[in-house]
Amino acid sequence: MYYSALIGNPTTHSVSPLMYEEFAKTVLRGSEYKHLKIDVSVDELDNALLAFKTLKFIGVNVTLPHKMAVMNFIDEIDPIATAVGAVNTITLTSKTIGHNTDWKGIYIPVQKYIAHKSLNLNKATILGSGGAARAAIYACRELNIKQINVVYREDANDKQLADLKHNAKRHNIELFTYAQVGRLINDAQLVINGTSAGMVGNELTPFELTELENIDLTGKIFLDAVFNPINTPLLKYFKERNTYTIDGLWMMIYQGVYALSLWLGYSIDISDERLIEIHKLLEKELLHV
């Protein structure tokens, strides 16, 4: 029997238990698998990780709001997670090791599309400054995007923002407030929502959509890190304006494949056809969480 968990606060909106159990049916035929959703506060992170290790869980996914805070409670952080500045996946062996698989969830679907269309992406605009946005920055760098613009709220966490500004200097990243969001989206070929705006309980957009009224969004790529609901207000807006959209379930699926590979200790292979089936199952499951 294999056990893994999702920790965060809240976790009720997630459909990751079904996702991992479907992965297991494909790659662990004959073995039982259970993925749990557990709400954990910041003060409980240390004890929670110790409990999972004691109970022989193979790994843990980390969601909002702990992707950066959890780094203080891990024995070792791998180089990619260090470069991203956020951990969303933890392997549990004799020690806890922090990884970031979110960037794969962004990189793979965008790379598949640009390879299919033979596109060159020169500019990306990323909304947000938290864990998902940092994974998006890393993914854009791996996609060889020359100019990466990050849009942040003026009331963003001071420490997180200072850290982001420090790293931006080294990686050709520019930071802007939402006052310039229209121009930045107009200039970009790829737009990524790395904020929680649009998720269940926060059915908003990160900025007023009137900012985009006079902008032609045709041919751009938009990826939303939010998966519940699958059609966020922002994703709907871009979809209605002839933008190629990638919903947050695809980000969750591709990061999940990578996370399970880390937990099992070997690379797993799931066909595109099977992933499409799993996407459809998850979309239905979202109606019940």
Catalytically active residues are: 67
How far is 136 from 230, CA to CA, in rounded Å? 18
Report whether 198 contacts 235 (CB < 8 A).
Answer: yes
- Tokens 């420490």 belong to which residue? 159
Measured CA distances, 110 to 2, 76, 97 (Å): 31, 30, 27
Q: Which has the closest alpha carbon to 104: 138, 61, 70? A: 138
Kind and range of the H or E element at 265?
none
Burial of 219 (0-12, 13-18, 19+ CB in 10 A): exposed
Q: Which has the closest alpha carbon to 220: 246, 178, 188? A: 188
